[in-house]
């Protein structure tokens, strides 16, 4: 027993072929009863906190899935029943040691399966239109065209190229289908969970890594982002991959690991501008994870950063003008806008992130200080930096969520009973999944964005090669209604012929576009592959903002000789931008 370290005595560890539980001293009957009582109390607190949040759901000012929109008073019994079932399963799951040898694949499979139900949600966030258009350029015209024309004919706004590039490759290989995007993002989500486990295991021990990975599943907002054609979930994956690469490279060294870490950092830098904080985060993580030879570790970190700069700079320097204009726009528009695009701390850290995670993360700061654990800085600094920069909207915090989960897992180390830690983490995960499945998903499926998704299914059944699209002006929103064209194309197999001449877009009020969070919808030009001539007898799709919106005479003349085949008129009272659809076919 003298050769066994404390960190080897976590749940599921093996030593000399024997389970770790074999090495723990037998507990008395009173100790076992106390442990059971602890878990019962944790389960009751988990359900009580869910009830308390439900009662005060009016405090949730999230702009996407606020509890005050998602839940009605009558929804509490159903939500609690789903959550209680999950808590019972979590209790059973926490009684047995979590398997150490199969932890990574088990976590990955569970995370992927947890994301599957959300594949049915529509594409609610209009930013997806930008990434779709960029990806379609690659799938239609090839990699060379994408690399040459990115930022020119391919509008880049403030986006970096990596994620649209990967989406375009998927379109080229699997066809232009949203299913490929959803499967890809779900795999990256599962990979982020696995990497969170590996980072926690490398910094501390297997139990902390496992709790951190499970706690990452305790953020209900995150589930809603996985199937969307955005960059946040991929950026989270590459950022977490960079963290794991830093720790592994310090431990092993060697040219292959140095090159792999440089590639991981370069990918993170090309995924999203907010990931550039990894340039400061990377050396810190390397230093705190190095037990000895700090000078050598810092030299390796410098080599990795230099290698990443060379790899990413080979592209970015060739697009120096584009990057400079993006950074100028970012500084003059998005940074000041952060003060306007805010959500409350209570919304982010209690409603959209399980309270167990928030409270454990807060406690972890004091615990790390008491223990003088420098390794904690490897995960804590990046979260604190994001908060210090004034990020008050949860969508911009997605990239650091794995580090927040590891902070919470570290805080749970104050609880000596590992099964109790496991149960707390599991309660957070099942409660978050219950909120997301029973609340968020049904809510998102009742938004008007669902009309575009269903329109794609109707058009697929109608067949044909081309669909003519006419867009009427937006009546309630500042969004350019033409953004509905690429969002509709995401769900169709036919080519879309956008009739700009019959789609009289109305510009927003003077000065509004300068501060609007949807300013890009007016400044990004229409993609050339939508401006094609329609076939003579192609179906016509009319996208409207309201069911009673008057149809201009020119549009009525165009629909002469056509009969209405389908109306898709789901509306919601939450989002101003509404996409109602009428589909016409020749008589």
More confident call, 298 vs 182: 182
The whole-chain average pLDDT of the chain stands at 88
Q: Are 436 and 79 in contact (CB under 8 A)?
A: no
Work out the pLDDT band at 506, boundaries 50, 70, 90: low
Question: What's the pLDDT at 478?
Answer: 85
Question: What's the pLDDT at 7?
Answer: 41
Q: pLDDT for 415-461, tens place per residue? A: 988 888 989 999 999 999 999 999 999 999 999 999 999 999 999 99
Distance CA 436, CA 481 (A): 29
Q: How far is CA 488 from CA 109, 131, 451, in A?
A: 31, 13, 9
Distance CA 269, CA 518 (A): 24
- For the record, the structure tokens of 350 come out as 């209690």
Number of neighbouring beta carbons within 10 Å of residue 451: 24
Do the bridges between strand 580-586 and strand 540-544 make them parallel or antiparallel, or are there none, so unpaired? antiparallel
Distance CA 256, CA 258 (A): 5
More confident call, 89 vs 10: 89
Q: pLDDT for 113-134, tens place per residue? A: 999 999 999 999 999 999 999 9
Question: What's the pLDDT at 474?
Answer: 87
Q: How big is the CA angle at 388 (ends 385 and 391), to the nearest 5 degrees?
A: 95
- For the record, the structure tokens of 109 come out as 């499979």
Q: Are 135 and 144 in contact (CB under 8 A)?
A: no
Q: How far is CA 338 from CA 156, 389, 391, in A?
A: 20, 10, 7
User: Residue 103, exposed/middle/buried by CB under 10 A (0-12, 13-18, 19+)?
Assistant: buried
- For the record, the structure tokens of 159 come out as 């986006």
Mean pLDDT of 140-160: 93
* Closest by CA position to 83, among listed 114, 108, 51, 59: 51
- For the record, the structure tokens of 125 come out as 């966030």
Distance CA 393, CA 64 (A): 11
Is the pLDDT at 314 greater than 90, yes or no? no
Is the pLDDT at 25 greater than 70, yes or no? no
Provide the 8-state DSSP code for 128.
H
Q: pLDDT for 364-408, tens place per residue? A: 999 999 999 988 988 998 888 888 877 788 998 999 999 999 999
Please report how many Cα atoms fall inside a 13 Å half-sphere around the Cα of residue 294, on the Cβ side.
6
For the chain, the C-alpha Rg in angstroms (whole number) is 26
């Amino acid at each position: 027993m003298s050769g066994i370290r404390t960190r080897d005595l976590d749940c599921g560890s093996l030593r000399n072929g024997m389970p770790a539980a074999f090495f723990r001293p037998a507990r008395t009957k009173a100790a076992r009863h106390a442990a059971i009582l602890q878990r019962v109390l944790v389960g009751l607190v988990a359900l009580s906190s869910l009830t308390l949040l439900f009662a005060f759901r009016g405090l949730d000012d999230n702009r996407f899935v606020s509890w005050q929109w998602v839940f009605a008073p009558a929804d509490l019994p159903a939500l609690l029943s789903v959550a209680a079932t999950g808590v019972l399963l979590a209790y059973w799951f926490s009684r047995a040691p979590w398997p150490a040898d199969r932890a990574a694949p088990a976590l990955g499979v569970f995370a992927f399966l947890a994301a599957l139900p959300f594949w049915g949600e529509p594409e609610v966030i209009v930013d997806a239109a930008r990434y779709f258009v960029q990806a379609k350029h690659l799938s239609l015209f090839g990699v060379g065209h994408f690399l040459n024309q990115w930022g020119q004919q391919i509008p880049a706004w403030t986006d970096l190229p990596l994620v649209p590039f990967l989406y375009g490759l998927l379109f080229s290989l699997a066809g232009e289908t949203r299913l490929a995007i959803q499967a890809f993002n779900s795999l990256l989500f599962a990979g982020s969970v696995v990497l969170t486990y590996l980072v926690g295991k490398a910094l501390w021990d297997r139990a902390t890594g496992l709790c951190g990975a499970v706690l990452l599943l305790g953020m209900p907002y995150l589930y809603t982002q996985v199937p969307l054609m955005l960059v946040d979930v991929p950026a989270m994956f590459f950022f977490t991959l960079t963290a794991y690469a830093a720790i592994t490279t310090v431990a092993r060294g060697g040219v292959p690991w140095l090159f792999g870490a440089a590639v991981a950092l370069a990918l993170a830098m090309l995924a999203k501008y907010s990931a550039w904080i990894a340039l400061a985060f990377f050396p810190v993580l390397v230093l705190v994870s190095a037990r000895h030879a700090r000078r050598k570790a810092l030299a390796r970190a410098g080599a990795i950063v230099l290698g990443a700069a060379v790899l990413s700079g080979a592209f970015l320097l060739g697009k120096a003008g584009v990057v400079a204009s993006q950074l100028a726009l970012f500084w003059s528009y998005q940074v000041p806008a952060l003060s306007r695009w805010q959500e409350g701390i209570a919304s982010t850290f209690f409603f959209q992130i399980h309270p167990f995670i928030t409270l454990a993360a807060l406690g972890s700061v004091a615990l790390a200080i008491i223990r003088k654990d420098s390794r904690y800085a490897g995960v804590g600094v990046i979260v604190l930096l994001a908060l210090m920069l004034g990020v008050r909207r949860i969508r911009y915090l997605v990239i650091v969520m794995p580090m927040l989960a590891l902070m919470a897992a570290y805080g749970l180390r104050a609880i000596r009973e590992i099964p109790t830690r496991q149960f707390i983490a599991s309660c957070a995960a099942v409660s978050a999944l219950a909120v997301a499945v029973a609340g968020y998903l049904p809510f998102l499926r009742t938004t008007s964005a669902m009309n575009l998704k269903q329109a794609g299914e109707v058009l697929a059944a109608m067949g044909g090669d081309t669909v003519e699209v006419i867009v009427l002006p937006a009546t309630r929103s500042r969004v350019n209604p033409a953004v509905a064209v690429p969002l509709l194309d995401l769900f169709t197999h036919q080519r879309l012929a956008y009739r700009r001449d019959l789609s009289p877009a109305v510009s927003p009020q003077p000065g509004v576009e300068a501060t609007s969070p949807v300013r890009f919808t007016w400044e990004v030009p229409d993609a050339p592959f939508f401006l094609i001539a329609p076939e003579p007898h192609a179906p016509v799709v009319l996208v409207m903002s309201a069911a009673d919106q008057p149809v201009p005479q020119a549009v009525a003349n165009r629909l002469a000789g056509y009969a209405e085949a389908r109306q898709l008129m789901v509306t919601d009272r939450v989002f101003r931008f509404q996409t109602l659809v009428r589909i016409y076919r020749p008589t």
